[in-house]
Amino acid sequence: MNEWIDPRTRIWAIIAMVLGVGLLLGLELVEEPDISPLELLLELVDILPIVLTSVGVVLLVRVTARQREEHVKIIRDLELARAQGQRWRNEARGLLSGLGEAIETQFSRWNLTEAEREVALLLLKGLSHREIATVRAVSERTVREQARSIYAKAGLTGRAALSAFFLEDLLAPIEGIQ
């Protein structure tokens, strides 16, 4: 709770308590000028809970208002992040769609069969020969043969060269490497 009550508010709360107690004791002295110190102390004990409760209520109202402001700010920030995320997804969707079309165009240039296209995409996604065989419900040997055919038709040396072929121009160049 203390992180919601700044030092200036604490000072005002203390001043309000002291003034409240002083005012109530002053009123008591005006009403009963002959009051003894012991009776005055008992009056202080009577009025102190009222003053403390009043100040506590004011502080709680202030803390609640700050929490509400923070809540509204968090909601606003979350909505902004969601909007930015949606914009990024929409932009990326268009780019990825274009990349998918470019990959398909290249596969056509290499004259890949439909089965080879599927294997090539799965290789680009990083699946092993065994995983591709499982996904396609064929033998691992068939996948290896299709992969060799893909590399031969593309004039590439293997999986790394296939991935590099498509990723090379997508990634920012490293300084000093051409």
- How far is CA 176 from each of CA 114, 166, 173, rounded to the nearest angstrom? 39, 21, 9
Which of 98, 150, 149 minimizes the C-alpha distance to 124?
Answer: 150
Q: Where in the chain is the domain with CATH 1.10.10.10?
A: 110-178
Question: What are φ and ψ of residue 140, in 5° steps?
Answer: -65, -35
CATH topology for the 110-178 domain: Arc Repressor Mutant, subunit A (1.10.10)
- Report the candidate in 41, 59, 51 with the shortest Cα–Cα distance to residue 18: 51
Q: Please choose, from the candidates 59, 66, 53, 50, the residue with its C-alpha nearest in 3D space to the C-alpha of residue 9.
A: 59
Convert the pLDDT of each residue in 42-66 to its tens digit: 888 888 888 788 888 888 888 888 8
pTM of the complete model? 0.48
Instruction: Give me the percent of the chain exceeding a pLDDT of 70.
Output: 92
DSSP symbol at 174: P
Enter the DSSP assignment of 1.
Answer: -
